[in-house]
Structures are given as structure tokens and as C-alpha cells.
Structure 1
Amino acid sequence: MSGPHLGKTAKRMLTGKTPFFACTDDPRFSFGLYVPKTHSFDGPRLPLLVVVHGTRRQTGGYLTHLQTFSEQHGVVILLPLFPAGIIDPFDVHNYKNILYHDIRFDLVLLSMLQQAARTWRIDAERFFLHGFSGGAQFAHRFLYLHPGRLRGVSVGAPGSITHPTTDSAWPAGLGNTKDGLGVVPDFAEMGRVPIQLLVGEKDTDTSMISRDELAGTTRVERVRYLHKVLAKHGVSSDLTIVSGVAHEGMKCVSAVEAWLKTLLESVQ
């Protein structure tokens, strides 16, 4: 489906907050968008921001919060939905480690972007990525595997991290990524990607995070650790500590928007 073949009604439905669409390559997964009014189905390609949900899959909140940013900066927002209960009916974590049974969630996302680019005028080859909590686990692991696809990545308060070393196997580390994922992480390429590491100042509850004494016991400590250890590999990042905020993704959105605004202005 391309712009010239869309009627006026279809274009209205595909502008603003859209319905969720099944991923044609794997209909177990879906995606929705917010498309700003500046978008034209036969116009230039707009920048794309992908936001990966947390464990509770609350995609609607992000679509609502980011509408004004989308309209002000001409950015299309895309939210994938990776439902809980895929394969294991009680599993809620499937997408976070990228690889789950025979599913590659990074490739599912890239398939969604390719599908979306056949309808909307978006830059699906290089895009911005943000994830908070469970979404941040996905986001920083996607960075390890596909840095060349990213214009920037914002990683917010992950409860579990992949250490950028080969001391442990994936997802704890990068020890077997060539055999298990077909990728050798390229730190030089990662170093070209603008990175924001984000956490609330009061995000210190440890009840919902995995044990990792090396990275620290709280999400604040883990974000600081990731900032430090990536720098040792030549990968710089912007460390953002949001004052007065605990583990509250929506209260961190404004800090993500401010960071993205700077990146967008630098390329205009």
C-alpha cells in the first residue's frame, strides 16, 4: 500500500493516533503509531522514534504523552506490542532479552519498521529508540546488535543489563553472540550512536530487579555502572538523573524529549 492509492478516509485513519496493526511476518505481534499532521503520504520521509513498552505493556500512555512532541518536531512515533504469554501463557518477560525460544524480537521489530515504511513516509533505516524498565533492557541490547540502525537510543532504568564484555554468555554478557545471534558487537560503531542513560533519582526499590552485584543493587547504580563501563570501551553516553522521580517512566518522558530535541536540532 502506498500513498497515491489511499483514499481520504484511509489517510485520516492513518494520521494522528492510528489503530494497531498486526505484523504481517508474525501476526502474534503488532504496532501502533502517532503520525503528525505534517506527514504527507507522498512527501519527504520523517524521522522515526520507536518506543518499546515495559513489562505491563502500557503503550497507550506513551502515545498520548508524545503527541505534542510528535507534532512540534515532525517525528513519527511507533510502538511495538510484544504481548505477554507468547509460548508460555504465564511469561511476561519474553522480549527483553531479544532471543526467546525461536523468536528474535529485534528482527520482529525490524520487520514491523519495514512494513510501516510501505505505508508511511518514515526513515525506517535509521531511527531513534527509547525504552524504560523492561523496554530499556530491549533497547540497550538492540544497541549491541544493531548500532548502525540507530540515530540515537535512550535507555531508561533497566532492571537487568547485559555487560559489554565476553566474560558471560548472552544475555548476561556478549560471550556467545556470534554463535547465538549471528552478530559480533562493534564498539566502534556503537560509539557513533548518541546514547542517553536515564534513571529517576529515587529509583532505588530492589524488589523487582535481578541480582547483579557487579552492576549494583539499584537501578540508579546500574545506570551509573553502564555509563562507566561503556566508556571503557570507547562508547560515550549522556547520563540523565531525573530529580525527585522513582521508577516512573511517564515522569521521565520530558527528559527523553529534551535529549531528543537536541539531536533533532543538530541534524536540521
Structure 2
Amino acid sequence: MSAGAETVALKKGEALHEADPRFASAWTLAPSGKADRPLLIAVHGSARDHLQTRDAFDDLAARQDINVLAPLFPADVTCPGYSDGYKFLREPGIDYAMLVEGMVAAFRARFSLGSQPTYLFGFSGGAQFALRYALVAASKLSGAVIAAPGAVTLLDAELPWWPGVAGIEQAIGRPVDAQGLKQLQVHLIIGANDSNQGLVARGSDHPDYSPFADVAGADRHQRLAALKESLEKSGLKPGFECLDGIGHELGPLAEAASSAIENWL
């Protein structure tokens, strides 16, 4: 925590999701305890480090008096060895968009919070979730920060889901929220030294295989640039940061995300 945040006592907690205890969430409450403070949903990467993801926004919570909610989406929920379902919003029997909305509703009910502006952050695998959730639920969000995704979905209605959005409603049960996207603030972040650590190539036997997986580029930098261009072609004006000297690291990207969210606030 920075010197400015050390003077603020942050109340934290974690619990299983009552509606489906296979999942859990951790939170930091806005220091003031007021019911009208904004909410940041912070989504972990493939390491499932949801507590570290929550704690990466301690300074932001203290400075801006906001709530932070960090879901935990475990691996091997429906199939041993399968860990990617949340990134693509669906796996058999699980709708991750509905799941996170249920977590938010339960969190607000637990602490008698109002439906204030909601922001979304995702790092790496969590950035894939954040991007795809924002595409279908933009109206529920005030802003989304996409940090170093390993794969992206372009707003291309001729490219099949998931590299594009053709057939998205048939695939995951929700269409693109085109009206909501027009109002959504988006910020894209990547480390200049991101060397593709953990970048996944999915073979034809993988549940999320697509022959178009590399259409946005061969690495994270190319793919994030392609996403930026796709969003701009759709009328959005995403912010973009490439952080000098930074690799595939949660901490520095969360710090940059905090600055972007503060500007929106």
C-alpha cells in the first residue's frame, strides 16, 4: 500500500457463492461504508490469484472510496484439466456472465449497497472474460479495463465466435450489447516486455478450439492492437497504454488500470 492508503483501514472478506458454492469471491469494502460508492469487479488470470487481484486495488479503494469484488473461478469445475470456461463465458452447465451478475447481486445484498457505477478489470485470462463480458453486458458497466489478454474477440460480425462475434447468441445465449457499447469507456493495457508467458495454443481437440484463433495476430501485442482497431472501427474510443519495462505482471498493470478508473470517476 502507498503512504496515502496506509492511513485507511480496509475491511476485507471472502465467501463461497451461496447460489453455487463451487465458486467464491473476495471483497474490499469502501472505507466510508456508504451504500452509494462505485464497485470495481476485478477478475483474476489463469493463476486463479483472486486475493492478489483484489489486493492490487487497495490503494484505489482507499483513495477513491470504492468497493472491490474479486470472483474466484476455479479450474476443473466440470471436466478435469479444463480451466478456460470463464474466459469464454460458458462451459457445460455454467453461464459465467450470469454467475458474476449473481455474485454482484449477492455482494450488494450482503452489505446493503446500492446499484452504483460498476467498473470491470481483467488481467490475462481475466482480461478475456472482461472483454467478452463487456461485449454482451456493456449496459451494466461504466468502464472496462482489458489488461494483457492472451486472445481477443474482435467486433467482426463475419468472423465466427469467439475470434469474432458471428453466432455469439447461439454460442453463449447473449447478443452483442451494441447500444451499451456506444456509451462504454474502455482502456487497453499491456507491458512492453510481455513475452507471451502463458500464451495458449488450443488444438482441434480442445473445447475452445477455433481455426481463426490467430486472426488477430501471433502475440499479445498484435492481438491487443487488433482489438483497439476493431473497437475504433465500431465507433468506440478506447484508451491504450504500453508500459515501458513491464512484462506480464499483474501489479503494474493494475496500477495503470487504477489511474484510468480514477480518471473515469
TM-score, structure 1 normalization: 0.86
TM-score, structure 2 normalization: 0.87
Give the distance between the partners of 1:151 and 1:102, measured in 2 at CA: 29
Give the distance between the partners of 1:219 and 1:205, measured in 2 at CA: 6
Give the distance between the partners of 1:106 and 1:24, measured in 2 at CA: 16
Match of residue 80, structure 2, among 85, 89, 96:
89
SS at match of 1:77: strand
Runs of 4+ in 1 over 6 A off after TM superposition: none
1:138 corresponds to which residue? Answer: 129
Q: Give % identity.
A: 25
Q: Using a 3 Å threshold, how does the CA distance of structure 1 residues 170 and 214 change in structure 2: closer, same or farther?
A: closer
Match of residue 37, structure 1, among 23, 31, 36:
31
Matched, 1:222 2:223: yes
Give the distance between the partners of 1:134 and 1:106, measured in 2 at CA: 15
Deviations 1:120-175 (A, max 9, x none): 24344641000010000000000111010001000011101112112233222211
1:20 corresponds to which residue? Answer: 14
| TM alignment of 1:1-268, pairs within 5 A | 16-40=10-34, 44-124=35-115, 126-205=117-196, 208-210=199-201, 212-264=213-265
Give the distance between the partners of 1:207 and 1:67, measured in 2 at CA: 26
Letter in 1 for 2:180: E
Give the distance between the partners of 2:56 and 2:173, measured in 1 at CA: 36
Q: Using a 3 Å threshold, how does the CA distance of structure 1 residues 259 and 21 change in structure 2: closer, same or farther?
A: same
Deviation at 1:202, TM superposition (A): 1.2
2:207 corresponds to which residue? Answer: none
Deviation at 1:249, TM superposition (A): 1.6
1:7 corresponds to which residue? Answer: none
Give the distance between the partners of 1:98 and 1:109, measured in 2 at CA: 10
In the alignment of these two chains, the number of paired residues is 247
Give the distance between the partners of 2:114 and 2:218, measured in 1 at CA: 38
Give the distance between the partners of 1:206 and 1:222, measured in 2 at CA: 14
C-alpha contact 1:204 1:220 (8 A) present in aligned 2:
no
C-alpha contact 2:13 2:28 (8 A) present in aligned 1:
no
Q: Using a 3 Å threshold, how does the CA distance of structure 1 residues 184 and 93 change in structure 2: closer, same or farther?
A: closer
Give the distance between the partners of 1:60 and 1:94, measured in 2 at CA: 20
C-alpha contact 2:36 2:113 (8 A) present in aligned 1:
yes
Letter in 2 for 1:69: L
Deviation at 1:176, TM superposition (A): 1.2
Letter in 2 for 1:243: D
1:4 corresponds to which residue? Answer: none
C-alpha contact 1:203 1:218 (8 A) present in aligned 2:
no
User: Which sections of structure 2, spanning at least 5 residues, go unmatched?
Assistant: 1-8, 203-212
C-alpha contact 2:26 2:51 (8 A) present in aligned 1:
no
Q: Using a 3 Å threshold, how does the CA distance of structure 1 residues 256 and 113 change in structure 2: closer, same or farther?
A: same
User: Which sections of structure 1, spanning at least 5 residues, go unmatched?
Assistant: 1-14
C-alpha contact 1:131 1:139 (8 A) present in aligned 2:
yes
